[in-house]
Copies of this chain bind each other. A is one copy, B any other.
Amino acid sequence: MEKIRPYSQALDRLRNAGLRSTRQRLALAKLLFDGQNRHVTAEILHGEALEASVRVSLATVYNTLHQFNEVGLLREIVVDSGRSYFDTNISEHHHIYNEDTRELMDIDGDQIDLAGLPAIEAGQELSRVDVIVRIKNI
């Protein structure tokens, strides 16, 4: 029964990642790492920040999402040509994507079995393997 301390948790995350703890990054980290896995776009996160009375520009949200992605705090997910999603779940897992609602959900990594992946050629390395289950409303 651990008490959630979003502030210091967010601060620690930034520190561990070697990022300066600015007001904007702290606030965004608190919104993102609130205890449950989230899938956000820059637009959505910016909206949430404004709602929470956090003054931050959309440009900074983009910068921050990419920095968090680079240091491994987030993972960018490509399911829609036209917008970027960022996932706070950085463990190995897959996705189910509703093409109508544009809602993205996790599938546990050990729920799916994948076999027969091709060998990687010399001079190349595996970045990762994405399984995307695309669904739509009837």
Contact = CB atoms under 8 A, between A and B. Distances in A.
A97 to B, nearest CB: 9
Contact of A138 (B107, B123, B128): B123
Contacts of A126: 133-135
B138 A117 contact: no
Contacts of A121: 135
Nearest to A132: B130
A124 B136 contact: yes
A135 B123 CA distance: 10
A80 interface: yes
A117 B117 CA distance: 17
Contacts of A116: 111-113
A8 interface: no
Interface in A96-138: 96, 98-99, 107, 111-118, 120-121, 123-138
Contacts of A63: none
Interface stretch (A16-24, A28-36, A65-73, A81-89): A81-89
18 contacts: A78-B80, A78-B81, A81-B84, A99-B127, A107-B118, A111-B116, A111-B118, A112-B116, A113-B113, A113-B114, A113-B116, A120-B135, A125-B135, A125-B136, A126-B133, A127-B134, A128-B134, A130-B134
